[in-house]
Structure 1
Amino acid sequence: MKLPPSFHFRKLRKNPLWFNILTLAVIIVEFTSIFFVQNPYYLSGSQFTMTIFASAYGIKEWRTNTVISIIMFTLALLFVYVSLQTLAITWR
Structure 2
Amino acid sequence: MTDIQTLKDEATAKYESRGKWHIIFTNYISDCFQQYDELVTLGYKRAPDSYLIAENMNLSVNQVIRMEKPAELQAQELKAILDKIDKGSAQ
Report the TM-score range of the alignment, normalised by the length of the smaller protein: 0.3 to 0.5
Larger Rg: 2
Greater helix fraction, Structure 1 or Structure 2: 1
Greater strand fraction, Structure 1 or Structure 2: 2
TM-score (norm. length: structure 2)? 0.34
Larger relative CO (CA 8 A, sep 6+): 1 or 2?
A: 2
